[in-house]
Amino acid sequence: MAKLNRAQIGAKARAVLEQNPKGIRWMELLRSVEKDEPETPHNSVHGGVHHFLKSADDVVKVAKGTYVLAAFAGAIDVTGDLETLSTVTSATSLPAHIEHQYYGAFAEWLTEELEEANHAEAVGGNILKGKWGTPDVIGVLRPKSSDLIKFETQIVSAEIKTDANAPVVAFGQAVAYRLFSHKSYMVMPNTVSKPDMERLEALATLYGIGLVTFSLNPENPDFWLRVRALPSQPDMFYVNEMARRVLDHSSKLFNSLF
């Protein structure tokens, strides 16, 4: 099967939108275009879909990260229909999962669907060193040239856990990241027990931490926003300390983010 060019990717994206009159989220659109196209690199599909959505004059963004053809836009109830576009799938009886399998997918979801950042990088490990830990994903939100009102660069951090029994650890790390982040997210599998999930939602709301759940399936994590992070002003001493550690680890990573 031949590699798709940009025009073919756009045509396939349009066909997917035609099949989804109630709208479709970015990640689902991307997966639908990639389906049955193993010869086309992910980055090529990503760029082609992104170009199509930005250049097509009959595609409407009806919510953050959610798109629909203009012909269908008037029939959508944003408060109702769009909530059904992403479903929480069961992950029982799945094998153990390695957290870094989800870093890249979440970074992409953070920028393309949640739109909390213009650019995000999978980090993880302990590259920043120190007992306060390293975010699994770091994103930055910068003003666009088209923005009439400019704002300072914002840093978004995320802690991803595949262990459903580690909600306290995830919460503690997400809180710690607020030292140098304007927004902080904890990302937990949807296998977390109902009592623990209710506590996480309450804590997230109380402390302004974002909460995202996902399916333990690297091919289709199906990230779902439960609580949106509230912006806060980080301590600039710790912002610069974090930036210095990123630079010391990798100038390439530093330049891609800052």
pLDDT 10s digits, 159-168: 999 999 899 9
> What is the length of the chain?
258
* The predicted structure's pLDDT at residue 131: 63
User: Position of tokens 């959610």?
Assistant: 66
What is the chain written as a DSSP string? -PPP-HHHHHHHHHHHHHT-TT-EEHHHHHHHHHTT-TTS-HHHHHHHHHHHHHH-TTEEEEETTEEEEHHHHTT--TTTGGGGSS-PPP-TTPPP--GGGGHHHHHHHHHHTS-S-SEEEE--TTTT-STT---SEEEEE---TT-SS----EEEEEEE---TT-HHHHHHHHHHGGGT-SEEEEEEETTS-HHHHHHHHHHHHHHT-EEEEE-S-TT----EEEEPPPP----HHHHHHHHHHHHHH-HHHHHHH-
* The predicted structure's pLDDT at residue 4: 87
Give dist(CA 97, CA 163) in Å, integer.
Answer: 9
pLDDT band, very low/low/confident/very high, at 43 (cuts 50, 70, 90)? confident
Q: Residue range 2-14: average pLDDT?
A: 87
pLDDT band, very low/low/confident/very high, at 88 (cuts 50, 70, 90)? very low
Q: Residue range 99-112: average pLDDT?
A: 92
Local structure of residue 192 (DSSP, 8 states): S
- Is residue 145 over pLDDT 90? no
pLDDT band, very low/low/confident/very high, at 95 (cuts 50, 70, 90)? very low
Q: Are 12 and 6 in contact (CB under 8 A)?
A: no
Give dist(CA 136, CA 121) in Å, integer.
Answer: 9
- Is residue 14 over pLDDT 70? yes
**pTM attached to this predicted model:** 0.69
pLDDT band, very low/low/confident/very high, at 41 (cuts 50, 70, 90)? confident
pLDDT 10s digits, 185-210: 999 999 999 999 999 999 999 999 99
Counting residues of the chain whose pLDDT is more than 90, the rounded percentage is 47
Nearest residue to 167 via CA among 136, 198, 185, 188? 188
Say which amino acid occupies 34.
E
* The predicted structure's pLDDT at residue 85: 43
The chain-wide mean pLDDT, for the chain, equals 85
pLDDT band, very low/low/confident/very high, at 97 (cuts 50, 70, 90)? low
* Of the candidate ranges 42-56, 60-74, 97-111, the one whose mean pLDDT is the lowest: 60-74
Q: Residue range 155-182: average pLDDT?
A: 94
Q: Are 199 and 224 in contact (CB under 8 A)?
A: no
**Residue 165 structure tokens:** 């029994």
- Is residue 18 over pLDDT 60? yes
135: CB partners within 8 A, 6+ apart:
123, 124, 157, 158, 159, 173, 177, 181
